[in-house]
Amino acid sequence: MAYRGTGKILRVDLTHQTVQVEEITEDLYRVYPGGKALAGYYLLSELPAHVDPLDPENMLVLANGLLTGLPLATATRFTAAARSPLTGAYGESEAGGWWGPELRMAGFEAILISGQAKQPVYLWIQNGRAEIRKADHLWGEEPEQAQALIRQELGDDKIRVLQIGLGGENLVRYAGLTNELRHFNGRTGMGAVIGSKRLKAIAVRGHQRVVEGAFDSKKVSELGKNLARTVKEHPQSWDLYDKGTLGLVAGLNAGGILPTRNFLEGAFEQVDQIKWDVYEKELLTARGSCYACSVRCKREVALDDRYQVSSAYGGPEYETVAGFTSNCGIGDLQAAAKANELCNRYTLDSISTSATVAFGMECFEHKLIGLKETCGIELRFGNAEAMLQMVEMIAHRQGFGDLLAEGTAHAARVIGGEAHYFAMHVKGQELAMHEPRGKVNVGLGYAVSETGADHLVAIHDTMVQNPNSVPFQGAKDLGITQALPARDFSLEKVQQYLIFENWVSMGKVIGFCYFGPAPRSFIKVEDVITAVNATTGWNLDLADLLEIGERATNLARLFNVREGFSRQDDRLPERLFTPLQAGALTGVALSKDEFERALTELYRLKGWDPDTGAPLPGRLEQLGLGWAIVGHEAAD
């Protein structure tokens, strides 16, 4: 029999309180083999157009990657996808941790959730069966307590719990999901979607050995052992083990691309207070990992000092540190650790949360808002106490926090004046802590990403600009022949962008973490191909894998076209076209002409209409998405 994973999906209707197990056909799984592709397929084919993201009719898809749960380092990811309450566009966020692998051990590739329960509920899935249970006693509980209560109630402390905290319950538009209290589907507001359904948690336990379902389980296991050995020898994965993502701070600051004071500047004068060595000395208590991953890039921190920080909620990674320190003008790692704990406790996306606080600070500095709006809080750059109070107010939807909980785009419209200029977002989603003026393909990725600004849609320019670097050597296996400067916006660079975009998108389908495959890290291209073929027996090559990634991106783009998005939404914030005000790239700005030319060229390479950004029928037919053209017309 041809490979189709566990072959099963779970369909949950919370309005009618039903659960139903369905088969996935081999034909379907072969074209949409998990994660982003499977989620995009169900959302495009089953969710009607223009459904309000917080309406019961919105569908949340949780879909495992093709390799998720196999004994392969970094094959841990699952996708959460729905129409996003933050952007109104295709919403999607991947998480690692332990929940996705456990779902597969319990016998499911994906869960499709629609409707809305009358009272809070949670879902309990165990070895191929599922039931909806009451959760009145869990609603309002913090994730640590809710997880303990669920495990106690079901009598098994190995149950994996995916859930929301207060931010999701209060429908903060950038609330996420957490599993094991420290692994997050952070972006695009999937926590608000699940909160709108009054679904507090999904508890999972399974006993299947995922590797036994593989086409060649012996080869998968051997590859897994080889990869585990490679982790220790490879400079990229070793750096991730050693410093986590915090190793980035010093280099980005030196290069003038550490977002500072809401992207006004590219270097932070207090950088010495937020570097890895301070983090290691003042905060770190342990390293952590996801299922079967020997990279162990996760950190655990605790504090009993100026702030009390519990180790239960993990530790801040680069994005969270930069977001709550340099980008808010705050040189205080302890405050960032507290902000991280609050975000994780309330299941708020720490990127969007910190970016909305930075936006609020700039509005305050420019007197667009005052003490009256902020309830007496001096919301200035550098004010750590104000930052922490604002995170609390966002989660509780109190005062000015209630407005920030709607995201920067909405808040800017309400505040008016020049506030829109301070709102650093694309399609309504806030920029991550990477500076496009110093790495232009990151900017292109922010602009075209269907989910709004996302830093994980391609490989960052700085990683592959040195021809002698290990990442560039890894990139060669993808057909990249030239190492190009990070600020080069030539046709060749756009061509590279597309290869990287398809490769990274493919990773979101098969379930590898961004920190697994080359060129970002240690898994060679040929090993990725081996992993897929040993698992499935499909005998795919690199071109096939890139096509899988491209198909997934096109599904998401078609979703957005249906919702009325077009080229004019693939726009970067105005600030990026003005000069950076501090750091090694002082005076450097993106060129509008170059950006628009690159966008047109990218559309052309993708087979998209250069005027509208919509996929053209020719390329869709080649990708096997002809049905989606018909579906799109029917939906209209």
Which residues in this chain contact ligand SF4 in the complex, by CB under 6 A? 74, 76, 96, 240, 289-290, 293, 295-298, 513, 515
Closer residue to ligand SF4 (CB): 296 or 410: 296
Closer residue to ligand SF4 (CB): 138 or 297: 297
Closer residue to ligand SF4 (CB): 200 or 296: 296
Amino acid at 572: L
- Most distant CA atoms of the chain, gap in Å: 67
At residue 429's C-alpha, the angle toward residues 193 and 203, to 5°, is: 30
* Residue 178 φ then ψ, to 5°: -125, 145
CB 419 within 8 A of CB 363: yes
Shortest distance (Å) from residue 217 CB to ligand SF4: 21
200 three-state secondary structure: strand
Closer residue to ligand SF4 (CB): 145 or 285: 285
CB 612 within 8 A of CB 566: yes
Closer residue to ligand SF4 (CB): 446 or 514: 514
Shortest distance (Å) from residue 296 CB to ligand SF4: 6
Shortest distance (Å) from residue 168 CB to ligand SF4: 22
Shortest distance (Å) from residue 515 CB to ligand SF4: 4
Spatial separation of the C-alpha atoms in residues 603 and 619, rounded to whole Å = 11
487: tokens are 């600020």
97 three-state secondary structure: coil
Shortest distance (Å) from residue 98 CB to ligand SF4: 10
Closer residue to ligand SF4 (CB): 374 or 505: 505
Closer residue to ligand SF4 (CB): 196 or 236: 236
Closer residue to ligand SF4 (CB): 139 or 512: 512
Spatial separation of the C-alpha atoms in residues 50 and 568, rounded to whole Å = 19
Provide DSSP, 577-621.
GS---SSTTTT----HHHHHHHHHHHHHHHTB-TTT-PBPHHHHH
Contacts of 11 (CB under 8 A, 6+ apart): 19, 20, 21, 22, 111, 112
Closer residue to ligand SF4 (CB): 42 or 522: 522
Spatial separation of the C-alpha atoms in residues 319 and 374, rounded to whole Å = 25
CB 601 within 8 A of CB 531: no
Q: What contacts 24+ positions apart, CB below 8 Å, involve 153-158?
A: 154/124, 154/203, 154/205, 156/205, 158/205
Shortest distance (Å) from residue 319 CB to ligand SF4: 12
Shortest distance (Å) from residue 524 CB to ligand SF4: 16
* Residue 420 φ then ψ, to 5°: -60, -30
Shortest distance (Å) from residue 301 CB to ligand SF4: 16
Shortest distance (Å) from residue 182 CB to ligand SF4: 10
Strand order in the sheet with 183-185: 129-134, 121-126, 199-205, 160-163, 177-179, 183-185
Closer residue to ligand SF4 (CB): 143 or 517: 517
Residue of 488, 517, 523, 522 lying closest to 500 (CA atoms): 517
Shortest distance (Å) from residue 65 CB to ligand SF4: 11
Shortest distance (Å) from residue 179 CB to ligand SF4: 12
Shortest distance (Å) from residue 233 CB to ligand SF4: 15
- In 3-state terms the chain splits into helix, strand, coil percentages (rounded to 5) of 45, 15, 40
Closer residue to ligand SF4 (CB): 76 or 441: 76
336: tokens are 């960032």
C-alpha dihedral, 540 to 493 to 463 to 296, nearest 10°: -40
